[in-house]
Amino acid sequence: MIHLRQVCLVAGALAPAVSALRDVLGLPVAHVDPAVGKFGLENTLLTLGSQFLEVVAPTRAGTAAGRYLDRRGGDGGYMVICQAGDRDAQDAVRANAR
């Protein structure tokens, strides 16, 4: 079985995107991870039940997130992160994806 753990959105500017999500969905901030700075990003994770909604924004040119924003033409979905219960479940998911 696959469990949805996190949805990651990408935005050109972090604060307005996070503010809009909090206003509409009423979600609390769970964590801000300064370690994403090494990738040229800033982020905020919001709690949604036992899952997370993350917003990332580039802080410098040349990041993967920034290039994706350019290709997309604006803010939007970026990643979905799932969790499988064990190695057999992971292998089954990979086989199904193929």
The model's pLDDT over 26-85, given as tens digits with 9 standing for 90+, comes to 999 999 999 999 999 999 999 999 999 999 999 999 999 999 999 999 999 999 999 888
Rounded to whole angstroms, the Cα distance separating 55 from 92 reads 30
Nearest of 42, 54, 44 to residue 6 by alpha carbon: 54
Rounded to whole angstroms, the Cα distance separating 71 from 93 reads 29
Amino acid at 40: G
Is pLDDT larger for residue 89 or for residue 10?
Answer: 10
For the entire predicted model, the pTM comes to 0.86
Task: Give all domains of the chain, ordered by start, each with its CATH number.
Answer: 2-97 (3.10.180.10)
Q: Count other Cβ atoms within 10 Å, centred on residue 57.
A: 25
Q: Count other Cβ atoms within 10 Å, centred on residue 63.
A: 17
